[in-house]
Structure 1
Amino acid sequence: MALKLYYDLMSQPSRSLYILLKYANCNFESKLLALRKGEHFGEEFTAINRLQKVPVIDHNGFVLTESVAIIKYLSRENLIPDSIYPKASKQAARVEEFLEWHHAGLRLHCAMFFRVKFLIPSIVGQPEEPKNIDGYLRRMEAALKEFDTKWLGRGNNFITGNTVTVADLFAACEVEQPKMAGYNPCEKFENINVWLKKVRDHFNPYYDEAHEVLNKIGKNKFKMASKV
């Protein structure tokens, strides 16, 4: 097997790469790690990635970490279609412009809200602190509003124009993450709602496959919230 993907589908960038490789019909070996069990801290995986994070690829012995670096590499190696990651300079620059923004502009705030609202309470077995969550919620909603208006609200079907790219896939996986904490961005931001349906349809059935566990957790969270 030429390509190995180390991942956990609870991880946003892991889902992005999993979906992307499936969509590209790229034959890869799945190396699933359970982050919730701390498998990424084990000696075997630490020998592969000293940073102890996923996703990671091993391509014929070449090990690479960091999801954006990985997709750029996959593009140069012609393992993903040009339509998803364009090789033309200006089109590629538009995709990379968003990917540069999304780390601090979108991912940080969605991930931190998920962390304090769902992940930490689940690990320590204690309920979340509402006062602590309020600040993270405000910052996440400010980021979602900026994404909704300044990236999606420009008359295009997708982030960089009228063609879906990896920028849309990475953003979609980030926007999905707060659902596990009982927050659905689609209910408050109309541009996100319309756009996300298009992204999901484009990458299905792999998109739904990658989000199966997330959607189950999200549904349970919404049921619990409705009973409160």
Structure 2
Amino acid sequence: MIKLYIDWISQPSRAVKAVLDILKVPHEVKALKIQFDEHKSPEFTAIHPLQQLPVLQDGDFTVAESHNIMKYIIKQRNISTNLYPLSDIRQQTRIDQYLDYHHTNTRKCLHLYHSVLISPLKGEKVIPEVLEKEKQDVAKVFSYFENNWLKGRNYICGDQVTLADISACSEMLQLDMIKFDFQKYPITNAWLNRVIRIPEVYQAHNVAFKVIKKQNPSSQFLK
């Protein structure tokens, strides 16, 4: 059986978990906690020397990088799905375009989350100028979603949910832990609510929601 190594607080980990569940691919979850350096153990380092999560083991084959893992599962098992349609090269290209954009844009949500929540917990100094730049970066990402990715459509790549939506949703939802004002971006906020209500996506975020409930008990995303 496939083994999936994740940290439940890791945005890419949750996205991969949600995709595997949507596709109903049997797998065994191996949960590690980055905060306790469990990803740096000799056992996991032997599996993935970069010590990053998520990682998937399919027999003697190891796959890293969340977007790569998602596409590998679909291609290797020749799964027919709107998440990444193998028969539609143009839709694949649209999805890939977002997934490439994600790494240097939407992923900036992580920096703001870290500065506001994690750095103070670790006793790390937060430089005001850096924090302001992170806020501006995230605002640009949400504005681009509002005016480009989601303009005139229900999901990032059209009228059906794809890998792009699941990856982006998991990333952005992390900001709920720092009480980010999603209401300032009504189109993106409505889209987030559509994606997170997909049962498998919501289930993959159960641990994250425990943190959100503690940090932001009035969150609109809590059931």
TM-score, normalising length: structure 2: 0.90
Q: Paired residue for 1:71?
A: 70
2:216 partner SS: helix
Contact 1:7 1:14 in 2 (8 A): yes
Query: How much has 1:68 moved relative to structure 2?
Result: 1.5
- Superposed CA offset, 1:150-203 (max 9, x none): 1012x111111111111110010111011122324x2211111111122123x2
**Count of equivalent residues:** 217
Between the aligned partners of 2:190 and 2:39, the Cα distance in structure 1 is 36
- Kindly indicate whether residue 186 of structure 2 is the aligned counterpart of residue 187 of structure 1: no
Task: Report matched runs for 1:22-171 at 5 Å.
Answer: 22-78=21-77, 80-87=79-86, 88-107=88-107, 109-122=108-121, 124-125=122-123, 128=126, 130-153=128-151, 155-171=152-168
Between the aligned partners of 2:99 and 2:56, the Cα distance in structure 1 is 19
Contact 1:106 1:147 in 2 (8 A): no
Percent identity over paired residues: 32
Select which of 186, 205, 219 maps to 2:213. 219
Contact 1:4 1:29 in 2 (8 A): yes
Query: How much has 1:80 moved relative to structure 2?
Result: 4.8
Query: How much has 1:126 moved relative to structure 2?
Result: 5.7
TM-score, normalising length: structure 1: 0.88
Contact 2:166 2:201 in 1 (8 A): no
Between the aligned partners of 1:133 and 1:48, the Cα distance in structure 2 is 35
Code of the aligned partner of 2:29: S
Between the aligned partners of 1:105 and 1:128, the Cα distance in structure 2 is 21
Structure 2 gap segments, 5+ residues each: 219-223
Structure 1 gap segments, 5+ residues each: none
Cα distance change, pair 151–65 in 1 and its aligned pair in 2 (3 A): same
